[in-house]
Chains A and B, each alone.
Chain A
Amino acid sequence: MPSLLILIPAVMVILINLPVKEILKRVAFLLALLYILAQAAAVIFAPAYLMNTPQLFALNLVIDSFSLLMLLSISIVGLSALCVGWFTLDDSNKKSDFVSLLLLSIIGMNGVVMVRDLFSLYVFLEVVAIASFILIALDKDREALEGSFKYFILSAIATVMMLTAISFLMMVTGDTSFEAVRATFKAGTITFWPVLAMVLFVVGLFIKAGVVPFHGWLPDAYSSAPAGVSVLLAGIVTKVTGVYTIIRLVTMVFGFSPSLNKVLLIVGAISIIVGALGALGQKDMKRMLAFSSISQVGYIIISLGAGTQLGIAGAVFHLFNHSVFKSLLFVNAAAVEEQTGTRDMDKLGGLAEKMPITGITSVIALLSTAGIPPLGGFWSKLIIILALWKAGLFPYAIIAVLASLLTLAYFLSMTRRVYWGKVPEQLADVTEAGAGLVVPALVLAAITIGVGIAFPYILNTFILPIRSIFG
């Protein structure tokens, strides 16, 4: 029942906001929690049911194994964002608004991963985008509004490019569904309008994904948003609206071609390097994590640019791992900011003894990001480097390996400044964050470790089936 993944949360949003005695506002957290757990459970325990049951209305929504993996990521990150947001926002009205907007963005993302038509894809991307603008601006202070405005303008540019591309494709094809457009690209002859459409669409998606040189909005939006919103944005929104869509369209609609591969490789490589170098010079914890996101998305793009099935598998696996460890890092940044009141790393120090769980889970996340075994990030980076090596793209493989060292460098610098060393006097009575922030951190850390250790099982159950749909 794919349409239930859109209709049930929509009904919940309406229920939460009914002007009836505000009882439902207080249980908004529980409603959203129940729904997200149900979505995760459906993906893990009843995937065949989700994929094969007939539709409720005649909606053209299709779930395949890639969509399943994305639905799982959406529920994991949605859960973390829900907990972080609920327990860090102060006003009860803001809390229920946050939950409603979170559910609306989950509806949009569920739609994006299930559609098979370019125009429907655009419509659901707009749902996610509008929910994100409002979420970033939720605090209504100057910084948040500025970050939201920047994201808004760049997103509008990306939207215009995508719409123009869709209109060109419709001009040539007469239809906007994935199969019809695929047939046009498969025809073999390289004509002007489809190629122009492809270029416009891919550039629009690069803006949404926040890769270099379209990353200008990303550090501001991530760092000025409230804590729960940063988790959501970094963990899943840019991944679904940007990276998932690029992977889906390149493999299912446009098809690999030497020039497209080259563009992906170059953009990916530049993002890896610029993101890593940018992260090295940051003082604000969330800005450093934002630049790190740019770098990791570069890894996903470069793996896609390899153009082989192993490359696609690596990109998808790293996409999943990145959602998990990046959310974990942002959850811990939220915990640190909540308990100490600052994100400036020069003012922090020695938090590992005051906030042990936050410290340990942060170290797990950073080791996974840098690609240290036996954590999940190691396996996905290994597959990416192997894919690049086997495709003969040696310089790119070397860039990927060396950038891992840079990743380790900036994250060790962050850990040394925040968690190790002496505790400054003003932070002398800082305690561990509440259960609302610690439980998501523990769950995410467990997933990171579990994916790493149980890698053969994950590979056979989740990753290899994805390769076959792109055959």
Chain B
Amino acid sequence: MITPYILTLVLLILLIATALWSVMQDDLLRAAIALAGVSIIVTLLMFQMAAPMAAVFELSVCAGLITVVFVSAISLTRLMTRQENIEFSRERMTRFWYLPVLLIIVGVLLSFLVVPGVPSIPAVVADVRKVLWNERQLDMLGQILVILTGVFGIVVLFKDKPKVEKDI
């Protein structure tokens, strides 16, 4: 008997675990795929919270389209060599120390900003299947086309890889 509370807890633990794994990855491609995994878990959480439209959008945008974009971007770059990797990790702290500080300051300043209230829309308990296949049919077609284009594009770019490494 899995109560909704336990399910939510499990999903949250999975979410944090996947997110941590994604940012601690060395391999960019695996990190991008782990990010897609994070999105899938967020989608499940949104279904739990009775927000089917938000869940469908989250699934389609983050798990589908953004992953295609990430993988296309990664395929346009090349791996750093081991030596470059070591040097880069060493200077990272000294070069970018100000970024976390800036983030905290901006966060504190933003918390003082007063924005007008957001109108709340009542939660809808709609059937997932109905939202996905009946209401957002055109989006499904579009996403299939996006993934087709992304996959085809990456195959085209990677077809004669030795040439790419020679030129760059």
Q: Which residues of A contact B (CB under 8 A)?
A: 6, 10, 13, 17, 57-61, 93, 97, 100-101, 104, 107-108, 111, 115, 117, 119-120, 123-124, 126-127, 130-131, 133-134, 137-138, 140-142, 145, 148-149, 152, 156, 159, 163, 170-172, 174, 191-193
Contacts and interface: CB of A to CB of B under 8 A. Distances in A.
B145 A104 contact: yes
B116 A193 contact: yes
A120 B142 contact: yes
Contact of B146 (A61, A130, A134, A192): A130
Given A133-B72, A171-B118, A191-B116, A119 B57 contact: yes
B71 to A, nearest CB: 10
Nearest to B122: A174
Contacts of A156: 69
Nearest to B140: A123
A60 B138 contact: yes
Given A126-B146, A127-B146, A104 B141 contact: no
Contact of B156 (A59, A134, A170, A171): A134
A104 B153 CA distance: 10
Contacts of A137: 76, 157
A15 to B, nearest CB: 13
Interface in B53-69: 53, 57, 60-61, 65, 68-69
Q: Which 8 A-B pairs have the closest CB atoms?
A: A123-B142, A134-B153, A192-B116, A59-B138, A130-B149, A97-B156, A104-B149, A120-B138
B162 to A, nearest CB: 11
9 contacts: A10-B145, A58-B137, A59-B141, A60-B137, A104-B149, A119-B139, A127-B149, A140-B163, A149-B76
B58 to A, nearest CB: 10
B91 interface: no
A172 B118 CA distance: 7
A418 to B, nearest CB: 29
A111 B137 CA distance: 13
Contact of B139 (A10, A104, A120): A120
Nearest to A98: B156
A97, A108, A123, A138 — which one has the most chain B CB atoms within 10 A of its CB?
Answer: A123
Contacts of A123: 60, 65, 138-139, 142-143, 146
Given A111-B145, A123-B142, A163-B61, 11 more contacts: A6-B145, A10-B145, A17-B152, A101-B153, A108-B149, A123-B65, A127-B145, A130-B68, A140-B164, A149-B76, A191-B116
* Interface size range of chain B in the complex: 35 or more
Given A17-B152, A127-B146, A148 B76 contact: yes
Contacts of B76: 137, 145, 148-149, 152
Nearest to A131: B149
B156 A138 contact: yes
Contact of B65 (A59, A107, A126, A172): A126
Contacts of A171: 118-119, 121
B148 interface: yes
A93 B159 CA distance: 10
B106 interface: no
A183 to B, nearest CB: 14
A101 B69 CA distance: 16
Interface in B120-146: 121, 134, 136-139, 141-143, 145-146
Interface in B28-76: 53, 57, 60-61, 65, 68-69, 72-73, 76
Contacts of A127: 142, 145-146, 149
Contacts of B163: 140
Given A148-B76, A171-B118, A101 B152 contact: yes
A93, A140, A148 — which one has the most chain B CB atoms within 10 A of its CB?
Answer: A140
